[in-house]
Chains A and B, each alone.
Chain A
Amino acid sequence: MALSYWDIFGVWIAAAITVWLYSFAFKDNVLYKFSEHLFLGVAAGYSFTLGLDAISRTGITPIVTQGRVEYIVPIIFGLLFFGKYLGRYAWIARYGSMFVLGVGLSIAVRTAPEAFILKQVAASILPLYIPGDPIMSITHILMVLIIIGGILYFVFTFIPGGTEQRPTTTYKVYDILVKFGIYGMMVGFGALFARTVMTRVAFFIGRLRFLMGPEAIGATVVAVILVAIAIGYAYMQERKGGAQAAGAQTATSSS
């Protein structure tokens, strides 16, 4: 499918902005700042428009076409948020927050205990010995020990008797369990970091493939050249600034 001139223009803008935003990895420069501000402005405008459209479809339309007058109530509470721009009447915005918090909390809380506590506790009650499957048995034992250890690590008000110097048996058991918890969490953080790397690399691969695409490659080359100039200029300014600062310091010390 042939792209229109506007599509190609869009691809070129996207390619240039991608290169300019990645240029921050090498050095802060004017093109990076331009792209960052442009993105913020566009994102704010886009979200605002889409938000209005969604309110029109799910809020205004039912009032007009189905006569659902009760929808006026949340719309009024929503409008109260703009009260924060009314100076001494800014307090009326709190009623909007109150409504959103109340509704949000009640909707979330009604199922949270079952979804986040009961189900999770039930899932951690595991058979510690599975005949013929030693790996799974070890996995289950480790999981139970790490769960108990992890929870114990975050219990701050109750520590069994004894100290590191004079440990009692209860303290030793407590200490071992807590260590399981700590090492389990460390492994978890390690996995999280590794997966963070994986995600970032995947994002990078995606952008690189886009930049190397037939429609974007021309813009990529131009954007890279412009970035090189911008970074070079930033280095020159830095050196000039450094030289001026050194000069000023010399003048101060000699006087």
Chain B
Amino acid sequence: MSAAEKIYNILSTRQLLYVLLIIMVLIPLLHPFGIPISISSRVKAVYEYIEKLPDHPKVLIEIYYEPAAATELEPGLGAILRHLVKKHPKLVFVSLIATGPIMFESLKRYVPDVFKQLKYGEDYVYLGFLTGGEAACASLARGIKEFVPKDNYGNPTANMPIFKYADKAKDFDLVIIVSSGTDVFEWYVRQWYTPYHVPLLFVALSVIAPSIEPFVSAGQAIGMVVGQRGAAEYELLVGKPGSAMAAMDAQSFAHGLIITFIILGNIFYWIIRLQKKQAPAR
């Protein structure tokens, strides 16, 4: 076995990559370097859109993610909520996924300053988890009060003041879909944007972005805030750097390591291939 093959085999050991990844993530978390980041035009466009919303905007927020995805999605939603709350909004939270109620409680712990400024039933409400997938999404658009007689905590929705302003799809100024999957974005495009032309805003995982990009390009959504990076940019725009901004150094270090492994892997792959080509046939 040649030296190149030995190195190639060592580099291919997954345990080595994992150990190095832990180290590369831990270093910047323990000693942040504060690598500067730029703000993309996409995130800036979302910020400007929300900035131009009228006072007391009516916003529906779909919480469709699991605890694992909270690291990528919660900071983005948190930063947007911090921005929105300045406009004294009416917020209707809902989940078409079973983990929604856990994530809503987690969100309240993540941005307590936002929820402190809002009164339950008047400024915001959480409808809880609703079964039915796309059918539930369509029913919500036709009328929330009628479809969901009780909220997540068992309170009757009929007498809640918030539904005087925000009940049917046409009442809403914006729908924010925060999701770790692709399906729910498509549901809202089909059931809220296409029939009622309610503006949609996507908060998505980085891996989901290419799948929902066509909706943004076609103007079916006003924009998207993608992953921790998008969240960090929004945190900067709002002027309150949070957990996404703090994770940027670790992201950069980890990506640097993976790029190094890809480059080294390719170099040694080609060296071995050349050596095999040049070696006399046995």
Query: CA of A201 to CA of B28 in the docked complex: distance in angstroms?
Result: 14
Beta-carbon contacts of B176-205 to A below 8 Å, as 1s and 0s?
000000000010011101110000000001
Closest beta carbon of chain B to A239's beta carbon, Å: 17
Known contacts A47-B98, A119-B220, A195 near B209 by CB under 8 Å? yes
Flag if B130 contacts A62 (CB, 8 Å): no
Specify which chain A residues have a CB less than 8 angstroms from the CB of B14 in the assembled complex. Answer: 25
Question: Do B98 and A51 touch across chains, with their CB atoms under 8 A apart?
Answer: yes
Answer whether residue A138 sits at the interface, using C-beta atoms and an 8 A cutoff: no
Residues of B within 8 A of A115 (CB): 186, 189-190, 193-194, 220
Contact residue among B18, B134, B150, B214 (Cβ-Cβ distance under 8 Å from A108): B134
Kindly name the residue among A58, A111, A116, A191 whose own CB sees the greatest number of chain B CB atoms within 10 A. Answer: A58
In the complex, A176→B249 CA distance in Å? Answer: 42
Find the B residue at minimum CB distance from A48: B98
> B193 — which chain A residues lie within 8 A by C-beta?
115
Contact call B149/A61, Cβ cutoff below 8 A: yes
- Cβ 8 A contact of B149, one of A26, A65, A122, A197: A65
Q: B134 touching A205 by the CB < 8 A rule?
A: no
Binary contact readout B114-153 vs A (1 if CB under 8 angstroms, 0 otherwise):
0000000000000011111111101000000001111000
**Residues B72 and A203 in contact, CB atoms below 8 Å apart:** yes
CA distance in complex: A122, B215 (Å)? 12
- Stretch in contact with the other chain, from A80-88, A206-214, A246-254: A206-214
Residues of chain A within 8 A (CB-CB) of B227 are 195, 198-199, 202
A202 with B71: CB separation less than 8 A: yes
Report B-chain residues with C-beta under 8 Å of the C-beta of A203: 68-69, 71-72
> Which residues from A are CB-within-8-Å of B133?
104
Q: Which residues in window 118-149 of A have CB below 8 A to B?
A: 119-120, 122-123
Is A53 on the interface with B (CB-CB < 8 A)? yes
Q: Is the CB of B228 within 8 A of A202?
A: yes
**How many Å from the CB of B98 to the closest CB on chain A?**
4
Enumerate chain A residues within 8 angstroms of B26, measured Cβ to Cβ.
Answer: 208, 212
Q: Is the CB of A50 within 8 A of B149?
A: no
- Let me know if B219 is at the binding interface, CB within 8 A: yes
Q: Of B25, B134, B209, B217, which is within 8 A of A123 by CB?
A: B217
* Complex interface: chain B residues within 8 A of A170 (CB): none
A119 to B215, CA, bound (A): 9
Among A66, A112, A198, max chain B CB count under 10 A is at A198
What's the Cα separation between A212 and B194 when bound, in Å?
A: 45
Chain B residues, Cβ within 8 Å of A107: 134-135, 138, 191
Stretch at the interface among B34-42, B159-167, B250-258: B250-258
Name the CB-closest residue of B to A112. Answer: B190
Which A residue sits closest to B252, measured CB to CB? A201
List the B side residues contacting A66 at CB < 8 Å.
149
User: A104 touching B71 by the CB < 8 A rule?
Assistant: no
Query: Within the complex, what minimum Cβ distance (angstroms) separates A146 from chain B?
Result: 13
A234 to B103 alpha-carbon distance, docked (Å): 36
The answer to whether the Cβ of A196 comes within 8 Å of any Cβ in the partner chain is yes
The reply to whether the CB of B70 lies closer than 8 angstroms to some CB of chain A is: yes
Q: Which residue on chain A has the smallest CB distance to residue B147?
A: A58
| A61-B149, A111-B190 known; A119+B251 contact, CB < 8 A | no
B78 at the A interface (CB under 8 A): no
Report the nearest B residue to A121, measured CB to CB.
B218
**The 8 nearest A-B residue pairs measured at CB:** A206-B71, A123-B218, A111-B194, A198-B206, A199-B207, A195-B206, A201-B254, A50-B98
Task: Mark A residues whose CB is within 8 Å of B.
Answer: 25-26, 46-47, 50-51, 53-55, 57-58, 61-62, 65-66, 103-104, 107-108, 111-112, 114-116, 119-120, 122-123, 188, 191-192, 195-199, 201-209, 212
Given contacts A197-B258, A206-B247, 7 further A-B contacts (CB under 8 A): A122-B218, A192-B210, A201-B255, A202-B72, A205-B29, A205-B251, A208-B250
